[in-house]
Amino acid sequence: MASRINRMTVSSLALVLLALSAPLAVVGGDPDILTDYIVPASQNPTNITGEFFTYTGLSAPLSAPVPENFTVVKASMAEFPALNGQSVSYALLSYPPGSVNPTHTHPRASELLLVIQGALSVGFVDTAGKLYTSDLATGDMFVFPKGTVHWQFNQGAQPARALSGFGSAAAGLVSVPVTVFGTGIDDDVLAKSFKTDVATVQKLKAGLTPPPKKP
C-alpha cells in the first residue's frame, strides 16, 4: 500500500514537473504571455516605437519576379522579433512553373495559405491516413491542419505565389524527404521501414545529400 502511494506520489510529482516545464519546451507551442508584447533583452523598453512592430522583409521578394526555384521567405519570430509571444507569423512562397513545396509538416501550427498569384494544387494527409487535395486559383485559401504532412504543387505554366499565415511565431518545419533520407538514419532501418532494399534507400539518400563543395 505504502509503496503504491509512493509510486502515485512520484508519478504525480513527475506530471507536475512536466506541466511546469511545458511552457519552456521548444515543442510545447507558443507561450501565453502576461504582457502586451515582449521586448528583447538587448533593447531598452522606453525606446520601443512603431518601428519595432513593423517588418518590411517581404516587400522586396513580393515585388521581384518569381525566382528560378521554389522559394520561401519567412517572417517568423527569428526575422521579426516583435512576433515573440504573439502566436502568429507569415511566409511568402514562390513557385516557378512545375515546382513543388515538398511534403513537410509544421509541428507547432496550422497554416492558412492564400494564393496571391497563379494557381496551386495542394494536399494533406490526416492522422487517420486520409488524403485531401484541392486545386486553388488566385484568391483561394486552404488550411493545413497543425502537424499534418502537406505540400503544394504549381502544375501550371505560369509562376505562382502564396502567402501563408501560421498560428505560431515559430511554426517549425519538418521536411519529410530531408528528415527521412537526409539526416543519416541507418540504411537498414529505412529499408525495413519502406519495405525495400538498401540500394533503393541509398539512391533516395543520394538525391538529398548535397555533393561535396569543390575547394
What element of type H or E holds 105? strand 100-105
Instruction: Mark the segment that binds ligand NAG (CB under 6 A) among 43-51, 86-94, 114-122, 172-180.
Output: 43-51
Instruction: Mark the segment that binds ligand NAG (CB under 6 A) among 2-10, 39-47, 105-113, 157-165.
Output: 39-47
Bridge partners (DSSP) of residue 115 are: 162
Exactly one of 47, 54, 63, 127 binds ligand NAG (CB under 6 A); that residue is 47
Residue 51 annotated as lining a ligand binding site: no
Name the grid cell of 78.
Answer: 527569428
Smallest gap from residue 72 Cβ to ligand NAG (A): 13
Name the grid cell of 192.
Answer: 525495413
Name the grid cell of 162.
Answer: 502564396
Q: CA-to-CA distance for 42 and 149, rounded, in angstroms?
A: 37
Exactly one of 42, 46, 56, 63 binds ligand NAG (CB under 6 A); that residue is 46
Please tell me whether residue 49 binds ligand NAG under the rule CB under 6 A: no
Please tell me whether residue 69 binds ligand NAG under the rule CB under 6 A: yes
The identity of residue 180, as a single letter, is V
Asked if residues 93 and 72 have their Cβ atoms less than 8 Å apart, the reply is yes
| Site residues (vs ligand NAG, CB under 6 A) | 44, 46-47, 68-69
